[in-house]
Structure 1
Amino acid sequence: MKKSQVHNQRSKPLVVFVSTFPPRQCGIGTYTHDLTIAIDELHSQLESRIIAMNVEELVSDRYPRKVLAQISEPKLADYQDVARQLNALPQVVLISVQHEFGIFGGEYGIYLLHFLELLTKPAIITFHTVLPSPSKQFLEVVRRLTNLVKGIIVMTRRSADILKEDYGISGDKIHTVPHGIHFLPYTDGVAPKKSLQLSNRFVLSTFGFLSRGKGIEYVIEALPQVVQRLPNLIYLVIGATHPTVLRDEGEEYRRMLMRKVYELGLASHVRFYNRYLPLKELLQFLQATDIYIATSLNPDHAVSGTLCYALGAGRPVISTAFAQAKEYVTEEVGALVDFRSPQAYAQAILALTQNNELRLQKGKHAYFRTRSMIWPNVAITYMRVFVQYLPGLNLEDKTLPPIKLAHLMHLSDSFGILQFANLAEPNPEFGYTVDDNARALVAVDLYFERTRRRSVLRLIETYLNFLQYAARPNLEKALAGKSTSRFFENYINSDRTFDTVRNDSENLEDANARGLSALARTSVTVGLPFVLRKRAWDLYQQGIAVVNNFVSPRAAAFFIQGLVYILSRRKDVQLSDLLRIHAERLLGLYGQSHDTDWEWFEDQLTYSNSVLSEALLLTYKLNKETKYWDIGKSTLDFLIAQTFNDKMYMPIGQGGWYRKGGQREHFDQQSEDTAAMVQTLKIMYTISKDEKYRKMMHKVFNWFLGDNVLGQIVYERNTGGCYDGIGKNYINLNQGAESTISYLIARLSL
Structure 2
Amino acid sequence: MRIGYLSTYPPAECGIATYTQYLRESLDPAAHESFVICQSGGAGEGVFPLWHPGERFSEHVFGTATRMTPDVMHIQHEYGLFGSQHGAEIVDLLLRLRLAEVPTVVTLHTVYETITDAQRMVLRHIVEDASAIVVHEDYQKATLDREFGRPEKVHVIEHGIREVRPVPNAKQRLGLAGKKVVLMCGYFRKTKGFDEALRFFPEVAENCDDAVLVMAGKIRGTEAKDVQAELYAALDEMPFADRVKYFRGQFPQYTLDALLSAADCVVLPYRTGAQSGMLSQCLAFGAPVVASGLNAFRDVLERTGGGLICDHPEEYGSAITRVLTEPELVNDIRQSGRRYIRETGGWSRVMERHMSVYEPLVSPAGSRGEYAFIPEPSVESRDATNSSSPDHRFTSPSKERGFRARDGYPALAASH
TM-score (norm 1): 0.46
Q: 2:204 aligns with which of 226, 238, 248?
A: 226
Q: 2:154 aligns with which of 174, 183, 186?
A: 174
Q: 1:32 aligns with which of 20, 44, 55?
A: 20
- How far residue 172 of structure 1 moved from its aligned partner, in angstroms, is 1.2
Deviation digits for residues 568-601 of structure 1, max 9, x if unmatched? xxxxxxxxxxxxxxxxxxxxxxxxxxxxxxxxxx
1: CA distance between counterparts of 2:138 and 2:278? 18
Tell me which residue corresponds to 2:181. Answer: 203
Paired letter, 2:20: T
Tell me which residue corresponds to 1:350. Answer: 321
- How far residue 190 of structure 1 moved from its aligned partner, in angstroms, is 8.2
Greater relative CO (CA pairs within 8 A, separation 6+):
2
Deviation digits for residues 348-369 of structure 1, max 9, x if unmatched? 1122333222222222212222
SS at match of 1:324: helix
Q: 1:83 aligns with which of 39, 51, 62?
A: 62
2: CA distance between counterparts of 1:237 and 1:272? 5
- How far residue 248 of structure 1 moved from its aligned partner, in angstroms, is 4.1
Tell me which residue corresponds to 1:21. Answer: 9
- How far residue 98 of structure 1 moved from its aligned partner, in angstroms, is 0.2
Q: 2:346 aligns with which of 374, 379, 384?
A: 374
Tell me which residue corresponds to 1:45. Answer: 31
Paired letter, 1:45: A
2:178–2:210 Cα contact (<8 Å) kept = yes
- How far residue 112 of structure 1 moved from its aligned partner, in angstroms, is 0.7
Q: Which runs of 4+ in 1 moved over 6 A?
A: 395-399
User: CA 1:236 to 1:393, structure 2 compared with 1: closer, same or farther past 3 Å?
Assistant: farther
Paired letter, 2:306: V
Deviation digits for residues 18-51 of structure 1, max 9, x if unmatched? 1111222111111112211222xx1323322111
Tell me which residue corresponds to 2:386. Answer: none
SS at match of 1:208: strand
Q: Would you tell me which structure has more helix in proportion to its own residues?
A: 1
2: CA distance between counterparts of 1:137 and 1:191? 49
1:43–1:395 Cα contact (<8 Å) kept = no
2: CA distance between counterparts of 1:355 and 1:219? 21
User: CA 1:354 to 1:64, structure 2 compared with 1: closer, same or farther past 3 Å?
Assistant: closer
User: CA 1:286 to 1:24, structure 2 compared with 1: closer, same or farther past 3 Å?
Assistant: same
Tell me which residue corresponds to 1:337. Answer: 310
Deviation digits for residues 193-232 of structure 1, max 9, x if unmatched? 2343322100111222222211011023211121122121
Tell me which residue corresponds to 1:389. Answer: 361
1: CA distance between counterparts of 2:23 and 2:362? 19
2:32–2:373 Cα contact (<8 Å) kept = no
- How far residue 326 of structure 1 moved from its aligned partner, in angstroms, is 1.3
User: CA 1:288 to 1:398, structure 2 compared with 1: closer, same or farther past 3 Å?
Assistant: farther
Is 1:145 the counterpart of 2:147? The answer is no
SS at match of 1:63: coil
2: CA distance between counterparts of 1:233 and 1:370? 29
User: CA 1:65 to 1:355, structure 2 compared with 1: closer, same or farther past 3 Å?
Assistant: closer
2:134–2:157 Cα contact (<8 Å) kept = yes
Tell me which residue corresponds to 1:319. Answer: 291
Deviation digits for residues 343-396 of structure 1, max 9, x if unmatched? 211111122333222222222212222332222222222222111211179589
- How far residue 237 of structure 1 moved from its aligned partner, in angstroms, is 2.2
User: CA 1:190 to 1:107, structure 2 compared with 1: closer, same or farther past 3 Å?
Assistant: closer
2: CA distance between counterparts of 1:268 and 1:279? 28
2: CA distance between counterparts of 1:381 and 1:258? 44
Tell me which residue corresponds to 1:130. Answer: 111
- How far residue 303 of structure 1 moved from its aligned partner, in angstroms, is 1.5
1: CA distance between counterparts of 2:371 and 2:223? 46
Paired letter, 1:328: V
1: CA distance between counterparts of 2:149 and 2:184? 35
1:226–1:349 Cα contact (<8 Å) kept = yes
User: CA 1:112 to 1:171, structure 2 compared with 1: closer, same or farther past 3 Å?
Assistant: same
Deviation digits for residues 622-659 of structure 1, max 9, x if unmatched? xxxxxxxxxxxxxxxxxxxxxxxxxxxxxxxxxxxxxx
1: CA distance between counterparts of 2:145 and 2:202? 45
SS at match of 1:329: helix
1: CA distance between counterparts of 2:369 and 2:244? 52
Q: 2:53 aligns with which of 50, 53, 73?
A: 73
Tell me which residue corresponds to 1:110. Answer: 88
2: CA distance between counterparts of 1:352 and 1:256? 28
Tell me which residue corresponds to 1:194. Answer: 172
2: CA distance between counterparts of 1:193 and 1:178? 30
User: CA 1:190 to 1:345, structure 2 compared with 1: closer, same or farther past 3 Å?
Assistant: farther
2:4–2:74 Cα contact (<8 Å) kept = yes
2: CA distance between counterparts of 1:125 and 1:332? 28
SS at match of 2:26: helix
TM-score (norm 2): 0.81
Paired letter, 1:16: G
Deviation digits for residues 684-712 of structure 1, max 9, x if unmatched? xxxxxxxxxxxxxxxxxxxxxxxxxxxxx
Paired letter, 2:37: I
Paired letter, 1:140: M
| Superposed CA RMSD | 2.7
2: CA distance between counterparts of 1:48 and 1:334? 36
1:230-379 aligned at under 5 Å gives the runs 230-241=208-219, 243=220, 246-249=221-224, 251-298=225-272, 301-330=273-302, 332-338=305-311, 341=313, 343-371=314-342, 372-379=344-351
Paired letter, 1:108: H
- How far residue 124 of structure 1 moved from its aligned partner, in angstroms, is 0.4
